[in-house]
Structure 1
Amino acid sequence: MNFSAASHRIPLSDGNSIPVIGLGTYSDPRPVPGETYMAVKTAIDRGYQHIDGAYLYYNEHEVGEAIREKIAEGKVKREEIFYCGKLWATDLDPERVRPALERTLQSLKLQYVDLYIIEIPMAFKPGKEVYPKDENGQWLYHKSDLCATWEALEACKDAGLVKSLGVSNFNRRQLELILNKPGLKYKPVSNQVECHPYFTQQKLLKFCRQHDIVIVAYSPLGTCRNPMWVNVSSPSLLKDKLLNSLGKKYNKTAAQIGLRFNIQRGVVVIPKSFNPQRIQENFQIFDFSLTEEEMKDIEALNKNVRFVELLMWSDHPEYPFHDEY
C-alpha cells in the first residue's frame, strides 16, 4: 500500500474509505476543557483527516467545534473528514440506538458521522449512569441481543445518520453472530481492538481480512497506566530495544516505528495525544517504510499481552477476551 501524507485511505467493504491514521481523543482522567478542541485543530492542520471519538469521552462537543471551525476556514471539506463515534454499553437496546447516535450528532453539530461502532459487546443496565452499579457496588449488567442492536444501526444508516457501521472489542464468535445474522443488510466494515507489536492480533486479523473487515488499532503505542482497567505489569512498548534501534536507523521515534508497522499491515492506527509535537510526530510515518525482514522482526515481538484487559467486567456473559481471539 503506497500511502502518503496527502493520500492515506484504506477502502471499506461498503464502498467508503477510512484514513489509515486518526487522532484518538480519549483521555484518562477526563480532558481539561479546551484541550480536545486544540488537539483536533492541530491534528487537522497537520494533515489528519480521521478523528476517533465517543459519547463516553465527554468531549464530542469540542471535537465538533474544532471540525466545524476548520471547515469554515476552508482548511478541509466535510467529506474529507472522517469521524468515528461509538454506541455505549448502556444503549444497546434497539430503541436506544438512534437516540444515542442523535445525541452524538447534536454534540458534534454535524449532519452525519462517517463510522458508528458498538463500543463493547457487553450490555449494561440502560439509564443515565454510564457505569451503572447497585447499592453494593456491583456492576449492573443487562442482557444483550447484538443482532437486534445491529438492525437498529442498519436503520440509522438507511436514515443517512451514518455512512459506515462497525464494532469494537468483538471476538471472532461475536463477529460471526452479526455476519451470520439472517437478513443482514450491512456487514461491519471494521473492528476496533487493541493492536500493537506486543499484541499483533494475527488470528483475529486473518479472520477479519477473510471477511473484508478492517482492523482499527486502539492503544497502538501501549496505553495509560490506570490499574482499574489496564494490566500495569505489562512492559512499556516504547522502551523496546528493537523499536528504538530501528528508530535510530530511520531517524524516527520508537512510536513512529510502531505505527508504521501497523499501517504496513493494513491496520488503521488511532494514537491519542493532546501534545502538539506528538500529534505531528505520529503523523510523520509516510516518508519511510520498513523492510519485509524488519516487519517480521517486529512481528516476532508479539507477547500476546493485552494492556487493556477490562478485568472488572470479566464475569459479564459477553466478556470478549476469554476466547483465544
Structure 2
Amino acid sequence: MTYRSETSAVPSIVLNDGSVIPRLGFGVFQVPPGDAAAAVTSALEVGYRSIDTAAVYANEAGVGDAVRKSGLDRDEVYLTSKLWNSEQGYDSTLRAFDATMAELDMDYLDLYLIHWPVPAADRCVDTFRAMQEIKSQGRVGSIGVSNFTREHLERLIGETGETPVLNQVELHPSLAQPELRAFHAEHGIATEAWAPLGQGSELKDPTIGSIAAEVGRSPAQVIIRWHLQLGNVVIPKSVTPSRIEENFDVFSFELSFEQMQLISALDTGSRLGPDPATFRVGLED
C-alpha cells in the first residue's frame, strides 16, 4: 500500500502549548471495533495524519494497529483519545490512561481529552490535574477537553491554572456555537468539531445543496470547507473509502463570504447529542 507524504496540503494550527495539530482529521466515533483498522488504514492512505478515538468507542486497538502497520513514523500521525466519564478522578484517570495506551499499543499520545464535563460527578478538576501529571511525565503531548461549556472551562482554568489546548464540541451548521467559539478564541483554545456534518442530517439541506451545485462539490465537502474557513479543527468520519477520500479533498476550492454567511444562517441551536450540563452516562446511580 502507498501512503501519501504530501500532507502539507492540510493546514495546521499551533495550540496554546506550542504543539501543532492538523486542521483536518479522521474520527472513528461509532466505527465498529472490527472495522476501525480498515477505516483508519484508508484514511492514512488518502493523506489524513490526525486520528481521533476514545476509550468508550472500544476501537482504540484497531486504531493503533492501523497506525503501526502503516509504515509511517509515529511522529507523522497525530493521535487523540478521550477519558470516559466513569474513570474521572485523579487516580482513576492515571489508570485509564494506562489502559488506553495498552489498547493503542503506543508509547505516547499526542492529545488526551476529558470526554464530558459530567458536572454531576464534580471530578473534572481532579481529572485534569491527573492529566497535567501525565503530561509532565512526557507521556502525552497536550491535554484538553470535550463538550465543555464556557462555565466548565472557566472553572477548570481557574482551579488548575492551565488552559486546555482544545475543546472538542458538537458543531455543525445547525449548531454553529458562535459564542463558545468566541470564548475559545479569546482564551487561545482551539475549537474542534464533532458531528461536523450533523451526522448526515445537514447533507440534505437545500441551502447546502445549492451552494454545492454552485461550486461543483458535494454537500459534505461544502460543510467541511465551511468549518475550515471558520477556523475549526474538523474530524469527519466514514467507513466508506470513497467518502473518506472525498472528505479529504477540500483544499482546492473556497467558499465566498456570501456562501459562508448563508451556511452560518442555518444555525438554530439544535443539538443532536446530549446537553453537556446534564449528561451523566457512565456514572453509577
Q: TM-score, normalised by structure 2?
A: 0.91
Matched, 1:290 2:251: no
Matched with 1:64 is 64
Q: 2:202 aligns with which of 228, 237, 245?
A: 237
- 2: distance between equivalents of 1:112 and 1:159? 10
**1:77 maps to 2:73:** yes
* Structure index of larger Rg: 1
| 2:100 partner letter | T
Matches within 5 A, 1:233-312: 236-309=201-274
SS at match of 1:246: helix
2:33–2:62 Cα contact (<8 Å) kept: no
CA distance in 1, matches of 2:217, 2:138: 42
- Report the RMSD for the aligned CA atoms in angstroms: 1.8
More helix by share: 2
Kindly state the Cα deviation for residue 6 of structure 1 after the two structures are TM-superposed: 2.9
Residue of structure 2 equivalent to 1:162: 140
Render the CA deviation track for 1:217-265: whole Å, top value 9, x for unaligned.
00000127xxxxxxxxxxx311111111111122111111011001111
Paired residue type of 1:84 = T
Q: What one-letter code is carried by the residue in structure 2 that aligns with 1:198?
A: S
- Percent identity among equivalent residues? 37
- Residue 315 of structure 1, CA deviation: 7.4
Note if contact 2:174-2:266 (Cα within 8 Å) is conserved in structure 1. yes
Q: In the superposition, relative to structure 1, how do residues 85 and 14 fare at CA in structure 2: closer, same or farther (>3 Å)?
A: same
Shift of 1:314: 3.4
Unaligned runs of 5+ in 2: 1-6, 281-285
* Cα distance in 2 for residues equivalent to 1:285 and 1:153: 34
Q: Report how far residue 32 of structure 1 moved.
A: 5.7
Where do residues 175-186 of structure 1 align in structure 2 (5 Å cutoff)?
175-181=153-159, 184=161, 186=162
Give the 3-state SS of the residue equivalent to 1:220 in structure 2: coil
Indicate whether 1:222 and 2:198 are aligned: yes
Superposed CA offset, 1:105-148 (max 9, x none): 1111111111000000117xxxxxxxxxxxxxxxxxx6323222
**Paired amino acid for 1:56:** V
Cα drift, residue 15 of structure 1? 0.4
How many pairs does the alignment contain?
274
* DSSP 3-state at the match of 1:237: helix
Going from structure 1 to structure 2, the CA distance change for 1:15 and 1:50 (only over 3 Å counts) comes to same
Counterpart contact for 1:6–1:47, Cα < 8 Å: no
Equivalent residue, structure 1, for 2:176? 200
Give the secondary structure class of the aligned counterpart of 1:21: coil
Whether the aligned pair in 1 keeps the contact of 2:173 and 2:198 (CA below 8 Å) is no
Aligned to 1:227: none
The change in CA–CA distance for 1:219 and 1:42 in structure 2 (over 3 A counts) is same
1:314 corresponding residue in structure 2: 278
Q: Following the alignment from structure 1 to structure 2, what is the Cα–Cα distance between the partners of residues 190 and 239?
A: 30
Name the structure 2 match of 1:8.
11
Structure 1 alignment gaps of length 5 or more: 124-141, 225-235, 317-325
- Mapped contact 2:118–2:279 kept (Cα < 8 A): no
1:7 shift after superposition: 3.7
- Structure-2 residue corresponding to 1:48: 48
2:198 and 2:263 map into 1 onto residues whose CA distance is 15
Who is 1:17 aligned against? 20
| CA deviation after TM superposition for structure 1 residue 11, in Å | 1.1
Distance 2:8 2:251 in 1: 6
* TM-score, normalisation: structure 1: 0.81
Q: In structure 2, what residue type is equivalent to 1:17?
A: V
1:5 CA drift (Å): 5.7
Give the AA of the match of 1:264.
Q
Q: Structure 2 CA distance, aligned partners of 1:244 and 1:220?
A: 16
Asked whether the 8 Å contact 1:220–1:259 carries over to 2, the reply is yes
Q: CA separation in 2, counterparts of 1:315 and 1:265?
A: 27
- Assess if the C-alpha contact under 8 Å between 2:9 and 2:251 holds in 1: no
**Match 1:98 to one of 91, 94, 101:** 94
Partner of 1:111: 107
